[in-house]
Amino acid sequence: MSYPSIITQEGSSQRNKQSIINELSKLLDENDEGDILELGSGNYEHLEFFAKQWKKIIWWGTVRDENEQSLISSRLEEENIRLLNLREPRLLDISKEIDWNSLFISLKFGITKPFLGCLMINLIHCCPIELPEKVFQNLSPINEKIKYKPLKSNKSWIIAYGPWLNDDGTYNSSEDEKFDKEYIKSKSPLLGLRTIKSITTIAERWGFIEESRKEMPKGNMFVVWRVRP
């Protein structure tokens, strides 16, 4: 399946980092310990911010291919970013079962610990419509095919930050419509804004419930799905 990697606008990480940290602070205390996974980690700027904010959390990022992996590793080295709680990017293309299986093997042998939660920042609209199900399916607490569960407990969560359609499929604003039609879909017709409702339907199939939605700057939303009790 051919589609572009994460589509970001210049400076977006700098602009939205504090608003995302503010919402994460409602889920994480300063003294919380554990591991958190990010899917589609872009240039690793968000993870760098988070690792500095929560020093007792181990932050794991993922990339789609070795080229992205090399670019991020080079940036971290060139900028002398050496944080004990920030792991090197691992290969995990959410469309590839072989990459998910590699994660399960890491969990089996204790290389990776079950995660407190999983982050997706500007990912949902940057992948084909069938791929979000891969995320919930492979992180599912009720998927009987997965012996070594990636999420730690029934308090674990999956978060998605980004722009969305309204639940009735309409655009939230003319700016969102322009962004979707002229920017995202110009990269690939496989991509585009989704409704939160459509993703929640997928999440529910795999043992999650939608816990909250929070309106964010620039028409974005911060959505939390929690493991169903």
Are the C-beta atoms of residues 67 and 75 closer than 8 Å to each other? no
Backbone conformation region of residue 47, classed left if phi is above 0, alpha if psi is from -120 to 50, else beta? alpha
> In a structure prediction context, what are the per-residue pLDDT tens digits for the chain, which is 229 residues long?
566 665 555 556 677 899 999 999 999 988 899 999 999 998 899 999 999 999 999 999 999 999 999 999 999 999 999 999 999 999 999 999 999 999 999 999 999 999 999 999 999 999 999 999 999 999 999 999 999 999 999 899 999 999 999 999 999 999 999 999 998 998 888 999 999 999 999 999 999 999 999 999 988 999 999 999 8
Hey, what domains does the chain have and what are their CATH numbers?
36-42+105-227 (3.40.50.150)
Q: What is the pTM for the complete model shown?
A: 0.94
Q: How far is CA 132 from the centre of its chain?
A: 10
- pLDDT of 215: 96
Are the C-beta atoms of residues 45 and 17 closer than 8 Å to each other? yes
Are the C-beta atoms of residues 136 and 202 closer than 8 Å to each other? yes
Neighbour-count burial for 51-68, b at 16+ CB within 10 Å, e otherwise: bebbeebbbbbbbbeeeb
Sequence letter at residue 96: K
Backbone conformation region of residue 42, classed left if phi is above 0, alpha if psi is from -120 to 50, else beta? left
What is the C-alpha separation between 205 and 228, in angstroms, rounded? 11
What is the C-alpha separation between 41 and 87, in angstroms, rounded? 12
- What's the farthest any 2 CA atoms get from each other in the chain? 50
